[in-house]
Amino acid sequence: MATKLKPVDIAIVGLGWAGGIVAKELASTGLKIVAFERGGPRATNPDFMAPQVHDELRYSRRHELIQNLRKETLTFRNDPSQRGLPMRQLGSFLPGEGVGGAGTHWSGLHWRWTEWEHKMYSGTVAKYGKSIVPADMNLQDWPIDYHELEPYYDKFEKVCGTSGKAGNLQGKKIDGGNIFEAPRANEFPNPPLTQSHNMVLFEKAARNLGYHPFPVPASNASRAYVNPDGVALGQCHYCGFCTAFGCEANAKASPHFTVIPLAHKNPNFEARTNSYVMKVNLDSRRKRAVSVTYLDAGGREFEQPAELVILAAYVFGNVHLMLHSKIGKPYDFQRNSGVVGRNYAYQSMGGVAALFSQDTYFNPFMGSGALGTWIDDFNSDNPDFAKLGFIGGGGISSGSNSGAPIQRHPTPPGSPRWGKGWKKAVVETYHRMTSVGNQGSVMSYRQNYLDLDPTYTDSFGRPMLRLTFDWQENEFRQMEFARGICANIAKEMGAEQVLSRRDRGRYSIVPYQTTHNTGGTVFGDDPRTSALNKYLQSWDVSNVFVVGSSAFPQNAGRNPTGPVGALAYRLADTLKDRYLQRPERLVTD
């Protein structure tokens, strides 16, 4: 039986960007707050000090900062006719574990989503009519627009010291920035990172083809910077050990050294690490959360009473807890009804490899997680959906992330696969191969969703979360179109060979692709199609709020971290200004 503890005011589940921001913002209220993190504590010193943090085997291959699948995993299938099977090895995505969550190992690409990306359904229908939306596509708007979120986008960029160049400053379009972005009130806190050679070639080629290149917004600081909270960030070293690694210079913004230590400065805040939250417990009417049940590092079970519960875990954690706690109606694929688990979406990827002449040196060992040049000419709602036959788009880019030796050993077609000949091909290819990639949107579909697996349980005895997902025709068309654009840019860059893989195969959970999962606890204006209202409050249990990309109705052609942070700041203001004054169902002003 669980040991019952003294009540607290607020329980937060998950201590990454979302949970860390909410904890920091609410700690100043003086309310007693406990945050639960399934992994251990983290600090730049000693956890991410050089040279040990540059251990590729430890971090990139053995995934020290990533979820422990021996304790908690999910099952996967491509369609509802199949039986889900457990994901026993990390592959397609890498959920974080430990204080800071995925914010410690992310690349640092820090996007604002565009106006259309907050209003995909109404924006598409207004332009093309309802008939363009496939019958099985659950296309939905956000319940808030870009302009409501803009101050929070701005705040999050300043906290992270984001490096970039504005392309739409208070409505004025600026060449060299992203002219397709929504209007921003302020310039980026830091100037762009220094370009690598392939970025210079990409920018020139894109301009020659009539496109509009700009530097990727990067929460890798281009210079020493002190954010508005007084937290110092160092200058990026371009060391090449960024994605999957912590940062020894504190140049890559991470919640473990920005927002979370500020929460700890308040004596009313406590972080309980190595603590797995099993369930949110409800009252007899199932209308109010009364506590959370969790296991500590020793496996002891505790019940923590709380007046307010905030789920701020990764997508799968939020959805799993909602389903296992019976908060909200589970999604039913057959009836296309219910809300928890609905509108799961992933991110499409692709592009081409480009092989240049022997005297080309890209120096791929130098770089940072978000160092890249990008075009949005075919992203968001910039493509002609009716002409091209798909809804959505993708960003196209070339960059320098990492040329670490285990991960990067490119060879041209026809090379030996092992031995002396393979080694010779790697040496001759390493410096002269780069890529032009596509990062595309993924719409939500009736047949792609999350639910509880009827067969498999995790190490704690709970039903595993089951992921049902496959690519649909809409996304195949987007990827194929973008691949052609990527190839044209690579040729214009001067590549001797453009290597493109054309594959319409089913989605595989085995190879790594991206950690950008969205949906499952969608927020909206209609409780029939959303688990949360516009304030991220559960429609069914009024003192449960859920924050993170699980709230997104579908995925855009860019990374989700920017809107996750913005929504977390907005939630904190909502709680301080409204809910904590009168703890009840929030209604639209």
> Which positions are annotated as active-site residues?
516
> Length of the chain, please?
589
**DSSP 8-state assignment for residue 28:** T
Pairing verdict, β 372-375 and 394-399: antiparallel
Report the distance separating Cα 221 and Cα 561, nearest Å: 16
Longest dimension (CA), the chain: 73
577: phi then psi, degrees, rounded to nearest 5: -85, -25
247: phi then psi, degrees, rounded to nearest 5: -115, 120
The packing angle between helices 561-574 and 17-27, to 10°, is 30
Report the distance separating Cα 336 and Cα 448, nearest Å: 11
Q: Which residue reads 């005895």 in tokens?
A: 461
Q: For residue 519, what are the contacts with CB-CB under 8 A and spacing of at least 6?
A: 315, 342, 343, 344, 345, 444, 450, 549, 550, 552, 553, 554, 555
Helix (H, G, I), strand (E, B) or coil at 123: helix
Q: Which of 254, 118, 91 is nearest to 558 (CA)?
A: 118
Contact (CB, 8 A) for 34 and 332:
no
377: phi then psi, degrees, rounded to nearest 5: -60, -25
What sign for the dihedral angle of Cα 123, 124, 129, 133? negative
Report the distance separating Cα 555 and Cα 517, nearest Å: 8
Report the distance separating Cα 154 and Cα 166, nearest Å: 12
279: phi then psi, degrees, rounded to nearest 5: -165, 150
Element (H, E) at 540: none
Element (H, E) at 441: none
Q: Which of 95, 16, 9, 93 is nearest to 548 (CA)?
A: 16
Element (H, E) at 9: strand 8-13
Instruction: Give the burial class of 147: count Cβ atoms within 10 A of its Cβ; 0-12 exposed, 13-18 middle, 19 or more buried.
Output: exposed
The packing angle between helices 473-493 and 197-208, to 10°, is 100
Q: Which of 346, 336, 332 is nearest to 471 (CA)?
A: 346
Q: Which of 411, 455, 452 is nearest to 431 (CA)?
A: 411
163: phi then psi, degrees, rounded to nearest 5: -100, 130
Q: How far apart are the first and last CA of the chain?
A: 44
Report the distance separating Cα 186 and Cα 276, nearest Å: 40
Q: Which residue reads 């808030």 in tokens?
A: 144
Half-sphere exposure of 342 (CA within 13 A, CB side): 29
